[in-house]
Structure 1
């Protein structure tokens, strides 16, 4: 097809997935897949083309470097001062069983709806120790916080995702500024994957549907052996000497202020900065952390998030390569001629999910799909709101499955597991919700 490299555009993604499964690593497969892509585009000049893209992305991704670094500093400060211990002690009064711990993690992820990063951070940091005490495997924990974050942020119109999706609807349908929000709200009941995924996470946690495959093995390991981490990672995160529990306020004050500032400013960076400053103000006078250690946390925080940042930036470089190969137009144009009004929602969901999974670019792929799918819905007399919901649901599906995407990467970092651990355990757990969603979109597409 003109402007694309046809089926060759799928090769880099295929290389990434296969190599990741074989090597059980994330950064190297992303780099290899991207090099393969630029070899297709630039032939013998592929290394120069790759480096040009990398240099460009390093400049454009400065925001993510700072955000992940601030995440690292905040988490490191909480951990060093044992600040979460008070909240853990309080939480264990309710969450004294594995099912209750799972429910608490689910609720906390929903409460912090503003942004998927925000949800993962808040639910992850506050509940990890509670999950450990109740012998929940870190793989299940990572799957839960990532799934809830991916679903919740697209179901709340006031989230950052909601604002972005509203803008895309306005541009695609030629609406006035502000009118897209009303359309998004009408489409929320049809954002089916997000609803289904939230329900499935609860069903898994309550063991109404039992974990299966590698996740079942991980859960049995945690329950029977008390080993919440994969065996080869357990030595890297050996239990430190038991620290004296601290006041619950040492966690609540920085976290509540972080939430408040983020909500008011609509900027997570400002919330994190305020949260970190409050950690310094609270912990140093109480001697929970030494003065020198507090400032060492700045470097340690960035250091501990280096792999996370490397994975995300490598994924962005791969996305640039996919854009140059014309991956998204190739996939969409391959099926657009065979779409009917009734089949449009399910096809829109599947395309958006696939593109999100293979590129790790959920907002970027939404920007590709909305201008194509919404006018197509109007011309085919398909239900517009089911179609809008399907595209948004596809973004959530991509976010919850892409093992090298930013949401999964952050969830794995907070859970202290590798992205490939999620690939082995968490990804299969998303398959049943996807199947249910596809069936529902087939029904809704032809009935409504």
Structure 2
């Protein structure tokens, strides 16, 4: 069953079920069982053993604790507790009142979120969660739905990281490109130079980022997003009250009337400084060459997240103690309630992540990615179609497996092989197309950890985020796909970017007019 068409069954089954039933855990569970059945050749005892090994592998790998996954789960819990005590200390209320005096429109709230997402480019996990914490008070005050907030966060996390050389993504990609260049004895440019040349060729990233600002400025609400935005504007409900949302506090916690903006800002600053500082430290300790790229290549992201989270938590509790002891604004006995409320708010995200990691492991064992990559490797079409074909296959692979890293880890070397054997001038466009497609698939997949964390950071129901984001992401992908056809047939990145820009302008004009009429009619 491995590396065959049957390996597509579990991911497609899980994705189709989650889209139609909106029951994430059940759908992922069906995907896990079906993958285990295939791996165990339909043996019941073998299936149970396979599921157990997969779940165990989340916490223990090769006889050692899998600290990376454990740190992410702990970081989520810590972030929930930080959010809880920021609310108790009055920081969220005060920041919201401060922001509403300065950010005076829905457009402004969305632009602030998008800019923050672009600025905080160090790591996609950190981006998704940190931007959500900062932006929620602003977007809530301006009646921007959490679904829209999740879309803005998701569209400015991985897309920015994949084109930033100074990020956990960029450094790893540069190292992988270096291996590809060495394999094919290409000495015309270095790995870093190749990465920098690839940046403008990553057409999906530029289409996605442009789409974010078009959506904000032109008030473009496509498909399900319109329902969420209308509810937010007309009823003041930024979430669907009938659906659970990860990262959202459910407890009716007391709030200090003496809270200030600093009660929110300084814990977030401590979180950012602690995380980035630890990333630099761990990377410096591990890297042989003490260059900034080497430091980011070897940085321990998950360890940095947990240490930065602990620093943020300490600062948060410090401000809470100030409210209790000095200002006498809240009662100290709310401590336990705050910890539990924050922990409970993150449990849905924890459960979904556990299921997503399990199915990702099983899909990896089924070699679904290798099967899809083999399709690209065996294609005999005109080499001018190569960037477009690789883009489409990377989209499908990342969407099916829920991982952009796994997708470009498998497909980049294959893209290098195909380009070197057919037309080496298409090497960089081919690599760019793989990276772009991997980001798209990861961007949209309901089993992707970045999708899950973006919904968590925004306090949005996961499937609401997935279904409202897909129309925008697919539109950007179609535009990018046309751009890759232009690159393949002309060899010109400039013409491809012009084609993408013209299509985006056309979309902005048409969609903006339709949305304007649509909103006026309602």
Q: TM-score, normalised by structure 1?
A: 0.92
- Cα 1:272–1:179 shift into 2, 3 Å: farther
**318, 325, 328: which one pairs with 1:281?**
318
In 1, Cα distance between equivalents of 2:483 and 2:366:
33
Indicate if the aligned counterparts of 1:308 and 1:410 stay in contact, CA closer than 8 A. Answer: yes
SS at match of 2:454: helix
Indicate if the aligned counterparts of 1:88 and 1:127 stay in contact, CA closer than 8 A. Answer: no
Partner of 2:466: 423
| Deviations, residues 323-381 of structure 1 (Å, cap 9, x unaligned) | 22221111121232225432222222222221111111221222111121123222222
Partner of 2:261: 248
In 2, Cα distance between equivalents of 1:238 and 1:11:
40
Partner of 1:334: 375
1:137 aligns with 2:145: yes
Partner of 2:211: 200
Partner of 1:358: 400
| Deviations, residues 134-160 of structure 1 (Å, cap 9, x unaligned) | 111111111111111121111211111
**205, 210, 228: which one pairs with 2:238?**
228
Cα offset, 1:50, TM superposition: 1.2
- Cα 1:445–1:222 shift into 2, 3 Å: same
- Cα 1:372–1:124 shift into 2, 3 Å: same
In 1, Cα distance between equivalents of 2:251 and 2:276:
36
Cα offset, 1:240, TM superposition: 6.8
Partner of 2:36: 38
**385, 394, 408: which one pairs with 1:343?**
385
1:398 aligns with 2:441: yes
Indicate if the aligned counterparts of 1:153 and 1:160 stay in contact, CA closer than 8 A. Answer: yes
Cα offset, 1:432, TM superposition: 0.8
In 2, Cα distance between equivalents of 1:245 and 1:114:
34
Count of aligned pairs between the two proteins? 444
Partner of 2:111: 103
Cα offset, 1:105, TM superposition: 0.9
1:57 aligns with 2:65: no
1:444 aligns with 2:487: yes
* Rg (Cα) greater in structure: 2
1:303 aligns with 2:344: yes
SS at match of 1:174: helix
- Cα 1:293–1:159 shift into 2, 3 Å: farther
In 2, Cα distance between equivalents of 1:297 and 1:349:
46
SS at match of 1:232: coil
Q: Compare 333-342 and 146-155 and name the one that shifted more.
A: 333-342
- Cα 1:366–1:293 shift into 2, 3 Å: farther
Aligned pairs for 1:206-217 (under 5 A) are 206-207=217-218, 210-217=220-227
Q: Compare 370-379 and 438-447 and name the one that shifted more.
A: 370-379
Cα offset, 1:86, TM superposition: 3.2
Indicate if the aligned counterparts of 2:376 and 2:390 stay in contact, CA closer than 8 A. Answer: no
In 1, Cα distance between equivalents of 2:244 and 2:256:
19
- Cα 1:366–1:298 shift into 2, 3 Å: farther
Cα offset, 1:9, TM superposition: 0.9
Indicate if the aligned counterparts of 1:254 and 1:278 stay in contact, CA closer than 8 A. Answer: yes
Partner of 2:357: 316
| Deviations, residues 280-304 of structure 1 (Å, cap 9, x unaligned) | 1222122266545446545544432
Indicate if the aligned counterparts of 1:138 and 1:416 stay in contact, CA closer than 8 A. Answer: yes
RMSD between superposed Cα atoms in Å: 2.5
Indicate if the aligned counterparts of 2:95 and 2:137 stay in contact, CA closer than 8 A. Answer: no
SS at match of 2:2: coil
Q: Compare 245-254 and 126-135 and name the one that shifted more.
A: 245-254
Partner of 2:290: none
- Cα 1:297–1:371 shift into 2, 3 Å: farther
In 1, Cα distance between equivalents of 2:373 and 2:145:
38
In 1, Cα distance between equivalents of 2:151 and 2:485:
27
Partner of 1:183: 194
Indicate if the aligned counterparts of 2:89 and 2:323 stay in contact, CA closer than 8 A. Answer: no
Indicate if the aligned counterparts of 1:106 and 1:145 stay in contact, CA closer than 8 A. Answer: yes
In 2, Cα distance between equivalents of 1:300 and 1:230:
20
Runs of 4+ with deviation above 6 angstroms: 238-242
**257, 263, 276: which one pairs with 1:263?**
276
Cα offset, 1:244, TM superposition: 2.6
Structure 2 residues not aligned, in runs of 5+: 61-65, 280-303, 492-522
Cα offset, 1:76, TM superposition: 2.4
Indicate if the aligned counterparts of 1:108 and 1:122 stay in contact, CA closer than 8 A. Answer: no
Q: TM-score, normalised by structure 2?
A: 0.79
- Cα 1:361–1:292 shift into 2, 3 Å: farther
1:370 aligns with 2:412: yes
Structure 1 residues not aligned, in runs of 5+: none
